[in-house]
Amino acid sequence: MFKVLGWLFLHLVLLGLAFFVFVRWQLGLGLDSLISGSAGERLAAFGDTVVSRIVDLPPRRWNDEIRPLAEERNLSAAIFEPGKPDSFPVPIPPNVLERARTSIPLQRADSGPPAAGRPRPLRPLPDHPDGRPRPRRDLPDDEGPPPEDMLPANDPESPSVFLPKCRPVFLVKGGNGGGYWAGVLLHLPPAQLGPRRPALLLVRAGNLNGSGLFFDYQPWLWGGIAVLALSLAFWAPFVWGLTRYIRNLKSAADEIASGRFQVSIPQRGDDELGELGRSIHTMAARLDHLVAGQKRFLGDAAHELCAPLARIRTGLGILEMKLTGADSAALNSIEADTAELATLVNEILSFSRAGNRAPTLRQIELDSIVRQTISRESLDVECTVSIPEGLKVFADAALLGRAIGNLVRNTAVHVGPGAKVNLTASSEHDLIRISISDNGPGVPEAEVSRIFEPFYRLDRSRSRDTGGNGLGLAIVRAAVEACGGTVSASLPATGGLCVTLLLRSSAALESPTDSQP
C-alpha cells in the first residue's frame, strides 16, 4: 500500500513540475510576475509604511529612517539615487542597477505650470470625514476629487495632499549571486504644493523569501499539503481495498501451497481481481476434490488389498509346514515379499487415515505423549528429551504420537546401530515448537523440500535393507497438518536432519502457518 501511495505522490509531483514548466514556457513568466499578486501587495504596504515614516523628513534623513525599518525584516533598503549608486548599503549588481534606472518615471507633463502662464484655479479641500473643516489649503480645481488609489499622506488631521499608493515595479535576482532585489515606486509630496515627484525604494534580501515580503512559501506549502491530502483521501480507500484484497489472495495462495484447500476469499465485483479471486476459489475446490479423492482411493485400495494379502499369507503358512529344503527357502522369499507388501498396505492405510479422519483436538501434556511414544516403539535408539515441565500442546494425541513415532523409527531405519535422537520443545508466541534432530547422514540440500511427499525416496534408500516405501515422513506431515500445525525440515551445521513441528498451544490460535520461519 505504501509503495502505491509513494508512486501516487511522485506522480503528483511530476504533474506539478510539468505544469510549472509548461506555464513558464508558454507565458514567459519570471520573478516580476510575483508582484502582480500577493507579493506586490506586501511590497506596496511596505512602501506605504516607508512613506509614512519619511514624508515629514528632509531627503538627507530618509535612508537613516528606512534602515532600521528594513533591518527588522533582515533586509537592506534605501532610496535609490541614480547619480549615487554607491549610497546603497551593499553593492548593486549591474542588472539591478539597469532596472532601477529605467523604472523611475519622468516628471508628469501635466504637473508643470498652467498653459499660457494662467494661474491654475484653486478649490477648497474637502471637509474632514467627521464634519470638522480642514485648515485652509486648496487643491487645483482642475484635478477633481482624489481617485480611489490616492491616500492621505501622513496624519489624517494634517492638511495633506492626497498621494498615490506605492507601487512595486520590478523583482529580479541579482547577478553573480547578488541576492534578490525589488523596486518600489514611492510617491512623496514636495515641501510646497506643486508637481508630485516619485522616488524609487530599493529592497534587497538574501533569498527569494525575503522574510515573507517577496515570496511567501507557506501558502504554497499548505496548498501542496492540501492537494496531497485530498488526493490521499480520494485514493487511499481505493488503494487500501485493492491491497487488502490482494493480501487475501496471497493468503489463500499460501494456504493452497501448504495443502489446505478450504480457503475463503471475499466476493468482489466483476473486475479483474474479482475474476482472479473466483478462479482461485474454484481451483482450490477442485484441488481439494482431487486430493481427497486420491487419498480416498489409496485408502480404499489398501483396504481391499488387506483381505487377499491375509489369505495369501495364510496359504503360505500352510505350505511352509509341508515343504522342506530348497522349496522351503523359496517359500521364505515369497513370504518376505508378501510381508513387505503387507507393510506397505498398512502404511497406505495409516497415511489415508491421518489425512481423512476427523481429529480429536484438545490440550495434552507434551512430555507425557513423547515418552509414551518412545517407550512404545522399543527401538534401539538413544533418545534425549528436553521439554519444559507442564508444557501443553493443542493436538490429537494419537496423531501426534504417530508423527513422533515415525520420526524416531525413521532414524532407527536409516542410521542403524548407534542412532541418536535429540527432541526439544519450546513455547514461542502461543505456539509450540518441537524439534527432532538425529545423527544420521542427512539428505542433499536440494531434496529437503521433497522428503515429505508421498512415495518419495532418495536413490540411496531404494533397497530392502535401509529403504522404506516413502510414506513415513508423508504420514508425519499428514498427521501434523490434521492437528492444525506445520512441519519443516532443515540441515543442521552439526550434520544429520532436523524436523520441526509447529503446533498451537490452545484453540484460540487459528493457524501457525504465518509464524513458521
- Please state the rounded mean pLDDT for residues 349-374: 79
484 lies in a domain?
yes
- Would you state the pLDDT for residue 435? 92
Residues spanned by the domain of 394: 359-515
Same domain as 414, residue 347 = no
CB under 8 Å to 296, separation ≥6 — which residues?
352, 356
Cβ–Cβ under 8 Å, residues 357 and 350 = no
Which CATH number is 505's domain given? 3.30.565.10
Cα–Cα distance measured from residue 90 to residue 86, given in angstroms and rounded to the nearest whole number: 8
- Please state the rounded mean pLDDT for residues 361-383: 84
Half-sphere exposure in the Cβ direction for 262 (13 Å, CA):
4
- Would you state the pLDDT for residue 219? 76
pLDDT at 309 over 80: no
The band of 314, judged by pLDDT with boundaries at 50, 70 and 90, is confident
Q: Which of 171-180, 221-230, 269-278 has the lowest mean pLDDT?
A: 221-230
Same domain as 342, residue 373 = no
Q: Can you give the pTM of this predicted structure?
A: 0.48
- Please state the rounded mean pLDDT for residues 416-429: 87
Cell readout for 330 is: 523359496
- Domain total for the chain? 2
| Helix, strand, coil distribution of the chain in percent, nearest 5 | 50, 15, 35
Axis-axis angle for helices 472-482, 326-356 (nearest 10): 20
- Would you state the pLDDT for residue 468? 60
- Would you state the pLDDT for residue 502? 92
- Please state the rounded mean pLDDT for residues 131-160: 43
- Would you state the pLDDT for residue 498? 92
Closest CA to 181 of 89, 105, 275, 294: 89
436 lies in a domain?
yes
Number of CB atoms found within 10 A of residue 54's CB: 23
Cα–Cα distance measured from residue 480 to residue 398, given in angstroms and rounded to the nearest whole number: 11
- Would you state the pLDDT for residue 500? 93
Half-sphere exposure in the Cβ direction for 391 (13 Å, CA):
20
**Digit-coded pLDDT (tens) for 214-247:** 877 777 778 778 877 887 788 778 778 888 888 8
**Digit-coded pLDDT (tens) for 451-497:** 888 777 765 444 445 556 677 888 888 888 888 888 999 988 888 88
What is the maximal distance between C-alpha atoms in the chain?
162
Closest CA to 477 of 496, 459, 458, 456: 456
Domain boundary among 338, 357, 376: 357
Domain boundary among 357, 385, 413: 357
Q: Which amino acid is at 108?
A: R
- Would you state the pLDDT for residue 33? 77
pLDDT at 125 over 50: no
Domain boundary among 311, 332, 357: 357
- Would you state the pLDDT for residue 160? 43
Cα–Cα distance measured from residue 132 to residue 407, given in angstroms and rounded to the nearest whole number: 112
65 lies in a domain?
no
Same domain as 370, residue 351 = no
181 lies in a domain?
no
pLDDT at 116 over 50: no
Ramachandran sector of residue 298 (left: φ over 0; alpha: ψ -120 to 50; beta: rest): alpha
Same domain as 433, residue 352 = no
Which CATH number is 342's domain given? 1.10.287.130
- Would you state the pLDDT for residue 204? 92
Cα–Cα distance measured from residue 269 to residue 406, given in angstroms and rounded to the nearest whole number: 48
Q: How many helices (H) and strands (E) does the chain have?
A: 10, 15
β-bridge partners, 187: 198
